[in-house]
Amino acid sequence: MASDLNRRRSYSLLILIIVMLYGHKADSKCDFEAIFNFGDSNSDTGGFWAAFPAQSGPWGMTYFKKPAGRASDGRLIIDFLAKSLGMPFLSPYLQSIGSDFRHGANFATLASTVLLPNTSLFVSGISPFSLAIQLNQMKQFKVKVDESHSSDQPGLKILPSKNVFGKSLYTFYIGQNDFTSNLASIGVERVKQYLPQVIGQIAGTIKEIYGIGGRTFLVLNLAPVGCYPAILTGYSHTVSDLDKFGCLISINKAVKYYNALLKKTLSETRTELRNATVIYLDTHKILLDLFQHPKSYGIKHGIKACCGYGGRLYNFDQKLFCGNTKVVGNSSLTAKACRDPHNYVSWDGIHATEAANHHISTAILDGSISYPPFILNNLCPP
């Protein structure tokens, strides 16, 4: 009799524990309270144009219906990720008017590199806000947050809580400009020589952020830039240099070398940092498939820019970028946008369309391109 009673009590206790666990899961909020992003134009939400205001149409035409500081017709991967975590779009750190940093900040700027540039923006077009500068901005941001909470300053209304840094997602989408900026001048083999230094800098930055409390890091790998219209028209090659999909073989082989080294380095970093989550995201896999098999995703055009000039295979002119106008003889020529960006993978020959970004984001959220496995959808249910 006593044995039966004890069994019933044990069973009731087990049921209570299960109910409590499931009830807690249902009521819990997202595991992350903020996102801090480091990157270039692929994830810049307006930082560059806050520093050098000049962006005009047709940028932003799909979602924002006007230029919104993004190098696309609409939303970027970082926008989709923020939405999935129940957060507003990230405010650029450099934007002084209208910013809200309660859910993080975006340190990315268009044309940024991992390595410190040895030239001026006005000479080479490379942003002065390299990864090292973005890291310094992050550190200064934390100092200001700590000071504001200790002195109860008015700035608290747009700043996150003091303990947010250990509850944040740190995202990195940078390195493309280190790879592409010197391709035409020094060739792919010489570019490969300094790629380990680029990756070392990314790993070093992760370690420094870990030192100030960061614990969860997502690193997007390098895109298949050998399929980009800007590279295909700017890098000397013959037909034999192209694969069956029209992409540059040597360039994409170098990209694979970079990505393999990045994955290995992040694995080593993961082992070194106790209690840290360091995730390698193979966004290259999805974007390459989009270029090679666009119709499988409901997209018509792979290697052809929506916004550009020249038509034909690439619709890209090295002397006339998206939205720009130049006078040739008695004619005024403008690089215009197509009417259906959703049917393109490439927005302007250099950056992805919102449609492509959405497909990549979906793969990130469901964990299908994460190493090790990391399913954001499970951590932040809708």
Active site residues: 41, 348, 351
**Residue 148 φ/ψ, nearest 5 degrees:** -65, -40
Measured distance CA(236)–CA(368) in Å, rounded? 35
Specify the pairing of strand 168-173 against strand 34-39: parallel
DSSP 8-state symbol, 236:
-
Secondary structure of residue 228 in the 3-state scheme: coil
Rounded to whole angstroms, the Cα distance separating 23 from 12 reads 16
**What's the Cα-to-Cα distance from 29 to each of 127, 373, 378, rounded to whole Å?**
37, 21, 11
Q: Report the alpha-carbon distance of residue 180 to residue 254 in Å, rounded.
A: 11
C-beta atoms surrounding 379 within 10 Å: 17
What's the rounded Cα separation, in Å, for the pair 307 and 344? 10
**3-state SS track over 63-108:** CCCCCCCCCCCCCCHHHHHHHHCCCCCCCECCCCCCCCCCCEEECC
